[in-house]
């Protein structure tokens, strides 16, 4: 009976849109882990598509990333078990587990006739959400892999470290493959670079609570240390900036890119973003479970809805070798529409799983490490700043 009721609630909530869900004890715990930053697993951000698990983005420096798993891959089998018929929660539960245990994924990839079979060893996934380095004298690179509780503080620390070396001539804020996370993390990161009291993002929904405006104001930031922005050199608000985005940049990433683009604070470079312009509210229930419900839409400071459209870069720079056709919000089933542009209704058939022929299994090409010497988009960003 319990299973039936859970199934009924889950079915009812998840039929609303791709981002609403009933979170059982495990899923709710996982969500808290995700915003706080560590778990045992493979390191893939996933969604559901036509009954298969679809990879939205591998998290950097994880078993999935190192094995070359790409956005848009469909996971059709976990070990010997077909994924069709599983809920997303079940699939995620199977992929997570004790570090050093193994799991075999069977993957269908667009453009490959054969399924790809890859065995991964689970690890502790520390989602270190901010990485940074001086790419060359005067030019800094800060990468956010997802927006967690400590992200804005991490960005502030990275900037302080950079300014110890002297003033910056240019800064690259890298949001590629960043699937999003906490709204206030996006507001705080935007506040780091925008003048005080600039509008960062507004939300609009059916109930009064969903209609809000968020401004670049340190007083609105949550965190252990609310004034981590106050100690930053004023030059941070003026340094020439490029924000790198791609089809794996979603939600909170799109808020930051949209805010910095609308205020002409940064040049956005890369490829069209994912287009997840909806806000989810977590409503805890009394037995350690919760409901995650879509409650509003995001709008950039100039009033553009991010939903389905995403952020269009000021300068389009494709990723060489990134032939994987990326999944975007517009292709998810039951997606919310975009109230400003009803024409954005894309429905694509899911790629078919390859037939079991006898030809050799394709191997996964290794991904380019973001921020490395052969990162073409970063090179273009630096050239532009210079």
Among the listed residues 54, 70, 77, 276, the single catalytic one is 276
- Residue 276 falls in the annotated catalytic set: yes
Rg (CA), the chain: 21
Q: State how far the Cα of 236 lies from the Cα of 229, in Å rounded to an integer.
A: 10
- Residue 26 falls in the annotated catalytic set: no
Q: State how far the Cα of 162 lies from the Cα of 193, in Å rounded to an integer.
A: 15
Contact between 165 and 140 (Cβ < 8 Å)? no
Q: Is 261 exposed, middle or buried (0-12, 13-18, 19+ CB in 10 A)?
A: buried
Contact between 106 and 115 (Cβ < 8 Å)? yes
Q: State how far the Cα of 273 lies from the Cα of 255, in Å rounded to an integer.
A: 11
Query: CA 8, 9, 10 angle in degrees (round to 5)?
Result: 90
- Residue 262 falls in the annotated catalytic set: yes
Q: Which one, of 279, 266, 274, lies nearest residue 249 by Cα?
A: 274
Name the token pair of 177: 């493959």
Among the listed residues 24, 178, 262, 375, the single catalytic one is 262
Among the listed residues 14, 20, 251, 278, the single catalytic one is 251
Name the token pair of 335: 């997606």
Q: How far is CA 49 from each of CA 162, 227, 250, 378, rounded to the nearest angstrom?
A: 42, 42, 17, 31
Helix 183-193 and helix 252-262, axial crossing angle in degrees, nearest 10: 30
Which sequence positions are flagged as catalytic?
251, 262, 276
């Amino acid at each position: 009976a319990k299973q039936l009721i859970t199934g009924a609630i889950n079915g009812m909530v998840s039929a609303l849109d791709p981002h609403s869900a009933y979170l059982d004890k495990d899923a709710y715990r996982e969500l808290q882990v995700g915003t706080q930053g560590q778990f045992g697993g493979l390191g893939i951000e996933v969604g559901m598509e036509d009954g298969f698990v679809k990879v939205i983005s591998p998290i950097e420096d994880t078993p999935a990333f190192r094995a070359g798993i790409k956005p848009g891959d469909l996971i059709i089998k976990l070990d010997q078990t077909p994924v069709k018929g599983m809920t997303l929660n079940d699939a995620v539960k199977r992929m997570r587990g004790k570090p050093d245990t193994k799991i075999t994924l069977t993957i269908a990839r667009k453009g490959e006739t054969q399924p790809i079979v890859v065995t991964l060893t689970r690890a502790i996934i520390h989602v270190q959400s901010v990485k940074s380095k001086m790419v060359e004298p005067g030019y800094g690179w800060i990468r956010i892999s997802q927006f967690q509780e400590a992200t804005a503080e991490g960005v502030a620390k990275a900037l302080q470290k950079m300014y110890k070396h002297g003033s910056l001539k240019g800064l690259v804020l890298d949001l590629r493959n960043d699937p999003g996370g906490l709204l206030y993390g996006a507001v705080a990161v935007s506040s780091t670079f925008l003048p005080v009291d600039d509008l960062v993002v507004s939300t609009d929904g059916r109930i009064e609570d969903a209609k809000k405006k968020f401004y670049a104001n340190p007083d609105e930031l949550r965190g252990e240390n609310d004034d981590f922005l106050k100690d930053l050199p004023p030059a941070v608000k003026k340094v020439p900036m490029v924000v790198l985005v791609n089809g794996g940049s979603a939600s909170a990433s799109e808020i930051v890119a949209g805010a910095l683009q609308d205020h002409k604070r940064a040049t956005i470079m890369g490829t069209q973003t994912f287009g997840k312009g909806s806000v989810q509210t977590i409503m805890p229930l009394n037995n350690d479970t919760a409901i995650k419900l879509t409650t509003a839409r995001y709008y950039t400071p100039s009033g553009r809805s991010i939903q389905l459209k995403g952020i269009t870069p000021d300068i389009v720079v494709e990723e060489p070798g990134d032939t994987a056709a990326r999944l975007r919000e517009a292709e998810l089933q039951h997606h919310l529409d975009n109230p400003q542009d009803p024409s954005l209704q894309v429905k694509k058939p899911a790629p078919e799983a390859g037939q079991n022929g006898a030809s050799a299994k394709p191997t996964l090409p290794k991904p380019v490490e973001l921020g490395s010497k052969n990162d073409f988009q970063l090179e273009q960003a630096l050239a532009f700043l210079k």
